[in-house]
Amino acid sequence: MKNLFVSPERVLGRAYRHGPVFRLAAGALMATCLLQAPFALGVFVLWQRHQELRAQQGVMLAQSRALQDNLGPLQDVKRKFQQIGEWEPIFRGRLPVSALLSAIEQAIPENAVLDSLSIEVDQFERVAVNGGIYRVPTNYRLFLQGEIRAAVADPVQAFHEGLLRRLPPGTEEIRREMKPDHANGLSSFSLQYAFKPNGNYHGLGLNRTADPDPL
Amino acid sequence: MAYSLIHFVRAFPLRYYLGGGLFRNGEPMVAVVLAAEQVSALVMCGPQVLGYEKGLDNLPDRPPVPGSVRDVGPSVSRTFTAKLLGRWRARGAAQYVMLPELAVGDLYCNAHSVSSLRENDAQSLLESLAEDPRQVFGAWDEIREFRWAVLSPGLKLCEGSFDARERQVMIVGLPAEYCDQIDSWVERQQASLVAIIPPSLACVKWFLTNLAPESEPCALLVELEQMTVVAIVVEQRIVLFRQYAVDDDDNAWEELVGHAQGLGVTTRRVYLWSLGGSRCTVPDTFEGVRITAGLMEQVTDTAAVSRRPKGGGTAEKSAAACLLRWLVRDLA
């Protein structure tokens, strides 16, 4: 008379509690769920991390939009700065000729006379800026010719060393010639140098007064 | 209701399993007699009797007693089950066998001839009874819903087609409302329900199993608190089953004698069992057998003496305890 007047729902409920097959199934089910726990935990942590990143992304997007909005009025200023920045190679390629002449004047020894002096540009860079295309010198050549009284064995050497101390760093000597003339005790000489406008004109007596503007 | 994986997952008793039920065996079984006068319970764990206790009708949160208007209310702290199991030092979730003593009008139990039924199997008979009992009985003026069961004359649950050898089936019905009350109570106790068996059926089942002679017809009269039951048994099968109200006891004895003579039952094969007090006027020349606790112990070869409960109390020895013990063992 087992299960007499017991509703089918209760009969099933009792079978689930006490039936060996259902207990075995429940044990297997619970064990399976338990084994899935680390995976589920990992998924949960990843999901939480994803949610945090999404929230962070949303905040950053909002900040980006705010910055873009703030950047709008500055676009015109930025464009002008870009135009100014285009002139940077032109300014960098300038050579302070007066300072160079002053340095040569100071370097000429007392027993020498300078006949001719020429500064030439032998290499150019084409720079396109707002308003046209400009040829900017990238290499200068300096030619010196004159006469010197030969009091010592190599009288041009002192002149040459004095010039090198004053000319921009990296200056190369291209040619140095001397032709002795025993008639009046004078010797003619010619010197040729090549240098690049690198902005360092300390030897010419031009000192930097401040750091360059990063713009 | 058939088993299904989906239902198993939906009704998964997780709390029970996590509470240790998954690995626990031998959970206590509690058989409770629910009479209007007295509520008694037998607690067993496996084959061992832990205790038998009477006078539980005053405990809060006791099971619903049929016909009782007194409501003792729910327990404040511990449930009825927790208290009962605690007294007898039992652990685990209880499995209840309820024996409600119903009035004659609340219990339908009768033997029906298979040939007089239109249905050929128990399932269709139960469906007809659930739909409208008048399709089966003809006359049925009860307006309440009933839960029905179909039993063989040997009081076993019928399943499938009726056995061709059986000429009769027993149809038993209980008020569905009361069964629902029991269901709800068991649910509240977080226990499970094994069966709801009226004591009259339990007594007759015990008699059929242990005492009814195979070769001779016999008659049984059981006196319960709410009713008197008469059963005529032939070849260990019930051929007649009658219930009488308490104030109709004399008719019960007279009808028993009349049916017994008609079916050839000898006077020595009349059995008298008084579980709710002796009320019938039995003649002094009664030659039959009185079923007592001693006889039950002798027949079933078991002792109906329980241990003393924790914290005092007296050891019990009674026919009811012996019946409950046999019933629980039979159902386990």
Q: Which residues contact A78 (CB under 8 A, 6 or more apart)?
A: none
Residue A171's pLDDT is what?
92
**Tokens encoding A148:** 């010197």
What confidence category does residue A210 fall into, taking pLDDT thresholds of 50, 70 and 90? Answer: low
Q: What is the mean pLDDT of residues B245-271?
A: 79
Compute CA distances B194 → A9, B187, B204, whole Å: 12, 13, 19
CA distance A4 to chain B (A): 5
- What is the average pLDDT score of chain B? 83
Residues in chain B whose beta carbon is closer than 8 A to a beta carbon of chain A?
Answer: 1, 3, 7-8, 11-13, 16-17, 21-22, 27, 93, 95, 147, 149, 151, 155-157, 172, 174, 179, 183, 186, 192-197, 201, 205, 330-331
Least confident of A171-180, A203-212, B29-38: A203-212
Greater pLDDT, B187 or A142: A142
Sign of the CA dihedral B242, B245, B248, B250? positive
Please name which of B93, B96, B122 lies closest in space to residue B195, comparing C-alpha atoms: B96
Please name which of B279, B291, B138 lies closest in space to residue B218, comparing C-alpha atoms: B291
pLDDT one-digit tens code per residue, A40-59? 999 999 999 999 999 999 99
Q: What is the mean pLDDT of residues A183-206?
A: 87
Compute CA distances B189 → A96, B230, B311, whole Å: 105, 35, 23
Residue B259's pLDDT is what?
82
Least confident of A161-165, B149-153, B272-276: B272-276
Q: Say if residue B284's pLDDT is above 80.
A: no
Dist CA A144 CA A119 (whole Å)? 9
Q: What is the mean pLDDT of residues A114-120?
A: 94
* Share above pLDDT 70 across residues of chain A, in percent, rounded to a whole number: 95
Q: Say if residue B265's pLDDT is above 90.
A: no
**Tokens encoding B276:** 């709710």
Least confident of B189-198, B233-242, B266-275, B294-303: B294-303
Q: Residue A82 is inside which H or E element, if any?
A: helix A75-86
Question: Do residues A74 and A180 lie in contact, with contact meaning Cβ atoms separated by under 8 Å?
Answer: no
- pTM, entire model: 0.65
Largest CA distance in chain B: 64
Please name which of A138, A133, A143, A141 lies closest in space to residue A123, comparing C-alpha atoms: A138
Contacts by residues A117-122 (CB-CB < 8 Å, ≥ 24 positions apart): A117/A142, A117/A143, A117/A144, A117/A145, A118/A142, A118/A143, A119/A95, A119/A143, A122/A194
* Share above pLDDT 70 across residues of chain B, in percent, rounded to a whole number: 88
Q: What is the mean pLDDT of residues B206-235?
A: 87
Residue B91's pLDDT is what?
84
* Residue A31 sits at the chain B interface (C-beta within 8 Å): no
Q: Using an 8 Å CB-CB cutoff, list chain B residues near A26.
A: 12-13, 17, 22
Q: Using an 8 Å CB-CB cutoff, list chain B residues near A2.
A: 157, 194-195, 331
Least confident of A89-103, A153-167, B52-66, B308-322: B308-322
* Residue A6 sits at the chain B interface (C-beta within 8 Å): yes
Q: What is the mean pLDDT of residues A193-207?
A: 87
pLDDT one-digit tens code per residue, A23-43? 999 999 899 988 998 999 999
> Which residue has tokens 């004399």?
B250
Dist CA B151 CA B129 (whole Å)? 14
- The β-bridge partners of B245 are B227
* Residue A12 sits at the chain B interface (C-beta within 8 Å): yes
Least confident of A139-148, A200-209, B67-76, B293-302: B67-76
DSSP output for A17-48: HH-HHHHHHHHHHHHHHHHHHHHHHHHHHHHH
* Residue A15 sits at the chain B interface (C-beta within 8 Å): yes
Greater pLDDT, A176 or B294: A176
b (16+ CB within 10 A) / e for A57-70: eeeeeeeeeeeeee
Q: Which residues contact A76 (CB under 8 A, 6 or more apart)?
A: none
Q: What is the mean pLDDT of residues B6-33?
A: 86
CB contact under 8 A, A17 and B147: no
Q: What is the mean pLDDT of residues B3-24?
A: 84
Residue B313's pLDDT is what?
45
Greater pLDDT, B70 or A202: A202
Pick from B7, B194, B196: CB nearest A12: B7
Q: Say if residue B307's pLDDT is above 80.
A: no
Dist CA B204 CA B200 (whole Å)? 6
pLDDT one-digit tens code per residue, B74-102? 556 788 888 888 888 888 888 999 999 98
**Tokens encoding A97:** 């000729």
Least confident of A195-204, B229-238, B279-288: B279-288
Q: Say if residue A215's pLDDT is above 80.
A: no
**H helices of B132-241, where?**
134-137, 176-188, 199-210
Q: Residue B294 is inside which H or E element, if any?
A: helix B293-300
What ipTM was predicted for this assembly?
A: 0.81
Residue B281's pLDDT is what?
67
Q: What is the mean pLDDT of residues B178-197?
A: 90
Residue B317's pLDDT is what?
62
Q: Say if residue B314's pLDDT is above 60.
A: no
